[in-house]
A and B are shown apart, each in its own frame.
Chain A
Amino acid sequence: MDTTPDALRQRVLAALDSLTDPEIPVVTLRELGILRDVRTTPEGLEVVITPTYSGCPAMGQIEDDVKATLAGLGIEARVVTQLSPAWTTDWMSDEAKEKLRVYGIAPPHATPAPEVSVVRFMRRPQAELVACPKCGSTHTVLSSQFGSTACKALYKCLDCQEPFDYFKPY
């Protein structure tokens, strides 16, 4: 077996590619942008992950899953949590967004471009125009800004009556 650092790195990446989000099992950690990097350092391999919401309870599970996968391969690697740059839903791939939609979660829109803060915070928050993941109608209404998890809001489709989660831009 090829044991050069780069080959090892590729094996780790391939193995970690099978790991999915504990709460949204249709998308992988890499597609969500949580798994940032696998890098070779003088001290050995490092797997870099970044937390989503500060208090997301899935992060502990994600770290455990990564460690268990590495242990299963018999590979020694450190798991490093890196905060900067801050995770954003803009890192989600288009494939991941489509998987979310098929799963019944409306995928996040792009985050708004940065503006002068005073203006940004003063503006009255507008509910976003979100398409129903089931029938595609944008005739939908926000029912609550927080859903079953911090990263999602609750919407309702006024055409097909489907209540659904919207993955909020972060």
Chain B
Amino acid sequence: MSTTVDYLLHLADNAVVLGQRDAEWCGHGPILEEDLALANVSLDLIGQARLLYQRAAALKGGGATEDSLAYFRDAADFRNYTLLELPHHGPLVGYAAADRDYATTIVRNFLYSALMVHVWDALTKSADSELAAIAAKSLKEATYHLHHSRDWLVRLGDGTEESHARAQAAVDHLIPYTEEFWTVSPAETAAVETGVGVDVRTLRAAWDALVNDALAEATLSRPEVRGYVTQGKVGLHSEHLSFLLAEMQSLARAYPNGSW
């Protein structure tokens, strides 16, 4: 049972962390329509996270709830991809600050939703019937997230000189983090063995085709990837996750069990 819980937490943490990141645009979107779009994408992701945490809590028992899993675990316990916790801008040195960059947001959402449409599609056949039901819903939502981010990827890449340069920089910055998708974690291996999870490596060709097709239409090039492969899904995170969680969890920790 605990292998299923670990796998559910990986899926839930992905959704909640990206949901939190995308929500940072709420009230700050580049245009009103995109402000609304990102808030809606965020709501879908947080909704998916809730369903997954509820399922994990039910299997875990011992008084666990969706809130205890989302708000009372620390960064090292989170199992999300490192890609999803990065801020909305390129790499910076030391304490340098930067404005949010919409190209980074769009490219990240695209790379993730291009994976998740395939993951959710496969998980509709999960041996855990509750996860299969969540996957069937999430697939519908991820498909809209893919359409939205792909559309903007093409607009930015095949847009002005400035938007092209920023989209290309975001692709160059983020693609290396997607290597983590294909490095299978112990939790994933265990979930594949029980039929609960999907072996992500079997989805790679389909993801590659989708990404290459969109990048080509966006007149963007795909960088060669080598070097360090991030390991957020085994709990080894970048420095950014703790800051994200500090903000996300502060209210729940200041007022435990609070309600209104």
Contacts and interface: CB of A to CB of B under 8 A. Distances in A.
A and B: interacting chains: yes
Interface of A: 51, 53-57, 83-87, 117-118, 121-122, 124-125, 143-150, 154, 168, 170
B85 interface: no
B137 A145 contact: no
Given A85-B136, A118-B209, A150-B40, 20 more contacts: A51-B47, A53-B43, A53-B44, A54-B137, A54-B138, A54-B141, A55-B47, A55-B50, A57-B43, A83-B134, A84-B129, A86-B136, A117-B121, A121-B114, A121-B143, A124-B150, A144-B37, A146-B36, A146-B37, A146-B144
Nearest to A169: B140
Contacts of B127: none
Contacts of A83: 51, 130, 133-134, 136-137
A121 B117 contact: yes
Contact of B48 (A55, A121, A143, A146): A55
Contacts of B138: 54
Contacts of B133: 83-84, 86
Contact of B47 (A54, A86, A117, A145): A54
Contacts of A118: 206, 209
Contacts of B40: 146, 149-150
Interface in B186-204: none
A144 B37 CA distance: 8
Contacts of A121: 114, 117-118, 143, 146, 206, 210
B146 to A, nearest CB: 7
Contacts of A143: 33
Most chain B CB neighbours (cut-off 10 Å) among A56, A57, A117: A117
A121 to B, nearest CB: 5
B148 interface: yes
27 contacts: A51-B137, A53-B43, A53-B44, A53-B47, A53-B137, A54-B134, A54-B138, A55-B42, A55-B44, A55-B46, A55-B47, A55-B50, A56-B43, A57-B43, A83-B134, A117-B117, A118-B206, A121-B143, A121-B210, A124-B150, A124-B217, A144-B33, A145-B148, A145-B151, A146-B36, A146-B37, A150-B43
Contact of A148 (B36, B51, B137, B210): B36
B258 to A, nearest CB: 16
A60 to B, nearest CB: 11
A87 to B, nearest CB: 7
Contacts of B121: 117
A54 B51 contact: yes
A63 B137 CA distance: 19
A91 B44 CA distance: 21
B69 interface: no
Nearest to A145: B148
A156 to B, nearest CB: 11
Contacts of B118: 117, 121
Given A54-B141, A84-B129, A146-B41, A154 B33 contact: yes
A147 B151 CA distance: 16
A84 B43 contact: no
